């Protein structure tokens, strides 16, 4: 096992290159292909950078951005689990915990602990920072679906009621202002399809 800190860090940075090959359900806005988890993470960091003033409670932007940069890294080992897939949440959580332990464990101890703790905080949505980060992770795909004539909702026969239930509480908890916009956009989308 590598014990030089810089070599451990560079090894981790090589390992997570594979996040660019984890394909999500959401399309790009031009619908040319599906989005991958690495570019999704960049987009979410940009959401946080621009929208943090709309959080429910004041947030620490650096912590929110760190969480969003790393929130999907476990998918390098376990892949993406779509929100509408109906997969067992317990199995998925266990697999992701093992992946987090292995991947962050590649780093020097202090950094491994910091990033693992941040990832757990995000998963548990146990702080205002994590609640806002989680909200953005729902806002972005919702807006993609609205902008792409239904996107993954159309593919999975998702109704307005399901959208309000699966996205609403998570977004509203982190940002009532963003949920007000998203709810209106979702209602307008389904009204136009009716």
Q: Give me the residues that bind a second copy (CB under 8 A), please.
A: 6-7, 9-10, 12-14, 16-21, 28-30, 32, 35-36, 38-39, 41-43, 45-47, 49-51, 54, 61-62, 65-66, 69-70, 107, 111, 143, 147, 177-178, 181
Q: Write down the least CB distance from residue 50 to a second copy, Å.
A: 4
- Compute the distance between CA of residue 32 and CA of residue 30 in angstroms, rounded to an integer: 5
Closer residue to a second copy (CB): 19 or 158: 19
Partners of 34 in the β-ladder: 27
Q: Closer CB to a second copy, residue 15 or residue 123? A: 15
Q: Which is nearer to a second copy, 4 or 165 (CB)?
A: 4
Residue 84 CB, nearest distance to a second copy (Å)?
21
DSSP 106: T
How many other C-beta atoms can be found within 10 angstroms of the C-beta atom of residue 4? Answer: 10
Please say which residue, 87 or 113, places its beta carbon nearer to a second copy: 113
List, in sequence order, every beta strand (DSSP E) within 28-151: 34-36
Q: How far is the CB of 29 from a second copy (least distance, A)?
A: 4
CA–CA gap between residue 13 and residue 21 (Å, rounded): 14
Find residue 100's DSSP bridge partners.
none
Residue closer to a second copy, measured from CB, 10 or 154? 10
Q: What is the largest CA-CA distance in the chain?
A: 60
CA dist 23 and 13 (Å) reads 19
Q: Minimum CB separation from a second copy for residue 170, in Å?
A: 18
Q: Shortest gap between Cβ of 175 and a second copy (angstroms)? A: 10
Task: Tell me if 69 sits within 8 A of 47, measured CB to CB.
Answer: no
């Amino acid at each position: 096992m590598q014990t030089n800190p810089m070599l451990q860090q560079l090894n981790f940075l090589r390992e997570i290159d594979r996040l660019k090959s984890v394909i999500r359900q959401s399309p790009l806005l031009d619908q040319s292909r599906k989005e991958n988890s690495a570019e999704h993470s960049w987009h979410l960091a940009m959401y946080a950078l621009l929208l943090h003033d709309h959080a429910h409670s004041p947030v620490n932007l650096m912590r929110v951005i760190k969480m969003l940069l790393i929130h999907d890294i476990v998918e390098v080992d376990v892949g993406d689990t779509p929100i509408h897939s109906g997969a067992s949440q317990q199995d998925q959580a266990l697999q992701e915990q093992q992946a987090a332990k292995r991947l962050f464990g590649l780093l020097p101890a202090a950094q491994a602990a910091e990033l693992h703790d941040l990832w757990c905080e995000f998963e548990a949505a146990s702080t205002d920072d994590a609640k806002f980060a989680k909200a953005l992770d729902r806002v972005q795909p919702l807006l993609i679906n609205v902008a792409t004539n239904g996107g993954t909702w159309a593919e999975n026969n998702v109704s307005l009621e399901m959208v309000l239930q699966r996205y609403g509480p998570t977004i509203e908890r982190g940002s009532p202002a963003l949920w007000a916009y998203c709810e209106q956009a979702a209602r307008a989308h389904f009204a136009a399809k009716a």
